[in-house]
Amino acid sequence: MKKSFTLIELIFVLVIIGLLASFAVPKFMQTRVSASATSAASVVSSVRTAIEAKHGEWIINDDLDTTDGYTPQGYPQKLDDAKLNSANEDLFNGTSKLKLLKKGIKSCLKNDCWYKKSEDNDKNLSDYIYKFNDKDYVQLEYNGSNGMFECVDSNSKTKEECESFIK
State the distance between the two ends of the chain, measured CA to CA, in whole angstroms.
67
Where along the chain do its domains lie?
7-163
Give the model's pLDDT for residue 47: 93
**pLDDT at residue 158 is higher than 90:** no
More confident residue, 49 or 159: 49
Band (65; pLDDT cuts 50, 70, 90): low
Model pLDDT, residue 114: 92
Dihedral of the alpha carbons of 17, 20, 21, 24, in degrees to the nearest 10:
-160
Give 153's pLDDT tier (boundaries 50, 70, 90).
confident
User: What average pLDDT score do residues 46-58 get?
Assistant: 92
What's the confidence (pLDDT) of residue 1?
62
Q: What is the pLDDT of residue 121?
A: 84
pLDDT tens readout for residues 91-129:
999 998 889 998 889 999 888 899 999 999 888 899 999
pLDDT per position as a tens digit, 8-18: 888 999 999 98
| DSSP letters for 22-40 | HHHHHHHHHHHHHHHHHHH
Q: What percent of the chain has pLDDT over 70?
A: 94
**Residue 6: per-residue pLDDT:** 86
Measured distance CA(111)–CA(130) in Å, rounded: 8
According to the model, what pLDDT value does residue 45 have? Answer: 92
Taking the model in full, what pTM does it have?
0.79
